Chains A and B, each alone.
Chain A
């Protein structure tokens, strides 16, 4: 008999017959698998109307996905993905089956590694005209031409600073991207955050990846690096929204 409980979704897996590890999900409930053809959704019943974003809940979600990742391929669901019932999960699996299978093939045998690089944006940034000083003056004291020239110089300096960041970030990224099946990267998410990147790599390449990062750390001693993983491939799942029920909320994986 199907449950009418709301279902919290942790992941889609490629092992519908394999037993779900005895791991507690949200609300301290054991997880269960809802199979559909050769895939399955791993869920746990939920009584609360809303999943609160807390550190504890995030870790619980992560713990379940990691336990699954140990012996199967997973498409991790975004935290907070809730479907209205077991039937809704079934419908979602059916509606998105092709997407899920394609994504499972893409990430099979691979893990996500994350890289963050900080530079000293304050010092590295070329000295730009102090706009606040200009703004502190009355319009009558500062000519219109002076204002525009100040802004022009500021734009030039910012452009040079950004170009330096992009060259440096590309150097890092290209040193690692060849090891990855896929990768994503963003430059200057904040002025200090030079690079935020994620790499989808074969499990066997993790050590090599780590060695290259260590080399980069030596080559660029003034930069701060943080390389983490292996993670479930959160950044590389592109399945469409589970639209079996229009009332479902936030059910993209």
Chain B
């Protein structure tokens, strides 16, 4: 079977589909982009690659701590003063993260690591 034959067989491979196949292509592209999350080690991109890795780890720690804080707030184990103080801390940290992401041209979706069978880090 030639390459062109194989390409022609694409339509044969579709057993059932809704009209909007473009939407699938877009989503698959997004999913594909999400998979090979590696540090870009070429000289020009290394700074951004490392920033991405470091910010991902900071974001992970931030999320874990925030999760704990929210749980404690829900369970009523924090005083009003503590809630205000912790909230301010997270608010500032979040704002700082936004600044750093902007500085390195990163989006929220960039801050993740694919852990293979374990799924995504965040």
**A residues lining the B interface (CB < 8 Å):** 23-24, 56, 59-60, 62-63, 66-67, 113, 116, 118, 135, 139, 142-148, 151-152, 155, 189-190, 192-193, 196, 206, 209-210, 213-214, 217, 223-229, 231
Contacting residues of chain B (1-35) with chain A, CB-CB under 8 angstroms: 1-3, 5-7, 9, 13-18, 20-21, 23-24, 27-28, 30-31, 34
B-side contacts of A66, CB under 8 Å: 1, 6, 9
The number of inter-chain residue pairs (CB within 8 angstroms) is: 116
- In the complex, the answer to whether B95 meets A226 with C-beta atoms within 8 Å is no
Interface secondary structure of B, over-half rule:
helix
Partner of A143 from B31, B87, B94 at Cβ < 8 Å: B87
The 6 closest A-B pairs by CB, nearest first: A144-B87, A144-B88, A63-B6, A227-B16, A148-B87, A144-B84
- Bound-state CA distance A14–B27 (Å) is 36
Q: Does B54 contact A (CB under 8 A)?
A: no
B-side contacts of A148, CB under 8 Å: 69-70, 73, 83, 86-87, 90
Which A-chain residue is minimally distant from B78 (CB atoms)?
A148
- Bound-state CA distance A224–B17 (Å) is 7
- In the complex, the answer to whether A227 meets B98 with C-beta atoms within 8 Å is no
Which A-chain residue is minimally distant from B31 (CB atoms)?
A189
Q: How large is the interface on B (under 10, 10 to 19, 20 to 34, 35 or more residues)?
A: 35 or more
A-side contacts of B34, CB under 8 Å: 189-190
Partner of A144 from B18, B28, B74, B90 at Cβ < 8 Å: B90
Partner of B14 from A56, A142, A144, A227 at Cβ < 8 Å: A227
Known: A24-B2, A139-B91, A190-B34. Is A151-B16 also a contact (CB below 8 A)? no
- Bound-state CA distance A143–B90 (Å) is 11
Q: Does B44 contact A (CB under 8 A)?
A: no
A-side contacts of B23, CB under 8 Å: 118, 192, 224
Known: A144-B88, A148-B69, A225-B16. Is A190-B1 also a contact (CB below 8 A)? no
Partner of A228 from B3, B15, B80 at Cβ < 8 Å: B15
Q: Does B38 contact A (CB under 8 A)?
A: no
B-side contacts of A113, CB under 8 Å: 15
Q: How far is the CB of A147 from chain B (nearest CB, A)?
A: 4
Q: How far is the CB of B81 from chain A (nearest CB, A)?
A: 10
Q: Does B77 contact A (CB under 8 A)?
A: no
> Can you add 4 more A-B contacts, CB < 8 Å, to A190-B30, A217-B16?
A23-B1, A144-B85, A147-B90, A225-B16
Q: How far is the CB of A60 from chain B (nearest CB, A)?
A: 6
A-side contacts of B28, CB under 8 Å: 116, 193
Known: A59-B7, A116-B24, A152-B70. Is A226-B18 also a contact (CB below 8 A)? yes
